[in-house]
Structure 1
Amino acid sequence: MDGEGPVNLKKVLVLAGVALVLFLLITRPEESASAVQTALGWLREGAESIITFIRSLFGTATPVA
C-alpha cells in the first residue's frame, strides 16, 4: 500500500461532512442558526472559564465583564 487509502477516506469524510452541513443550512436554516448560537455560547463560556483560571493562578481573579 502506498498510503492513498486513508487519504481518500479522509477526503470522502470531509466532503460528506461539508455536504451534510450545506444540506442542513439550506433545509433548516432556523435550527442551524440556533445550533451555531449554542456552540458559540459554549465556546464563550469555555474561554471565560479558562481566563478566570489563568487569572486565579496569577492572583488577579477579577471577573470577566
Structure 2
Amino acid sequence: MIALLVFWVFVDPDSAADTVQDIGALLREGAESVITFFTSLV
C-alpha cells in the first residue's frame, strides 16, 4: 500500500496533492458539521 502511494506521488504528484487536499477538506467539513450539531443542542 505504501509503495503504491509513493509510486503515485512520483508518477503524478499534482493529482496526489489534490487528492490529499480534498480529503483534508472533507474531514474539516465533517468536523465542523459535528461541532455545529453539538453547539446547536446546547
TM-score, shorter chain, exceeding 0.5: yes
CA RMSD of aligned residues (A): 0.6
Structure 1 unaligned regions, length at least 5: 1-16, 59-65
Give the 4+ runs in structure 1 shifted more than 3 A: none
For residue 48 of structure 1, what is the aligned residue in structure 2?
32
The sequence identity of aligned pairs, in percent, is 45
Report which of the two has the higher share of helix.
2
Higher relative contact order (CA 8 A, sep 6+): 2
Output the TM-score relative to the length of structure 2. Answer: 0.93
Larger Rg: 1
Output the TM-score relative to the length of structure 1. Answer: 0.62
Structure 2 unaligned regions, length at least 5: none
Provide the aligned length of Structure 1 versus Structure 2. Answer: 42
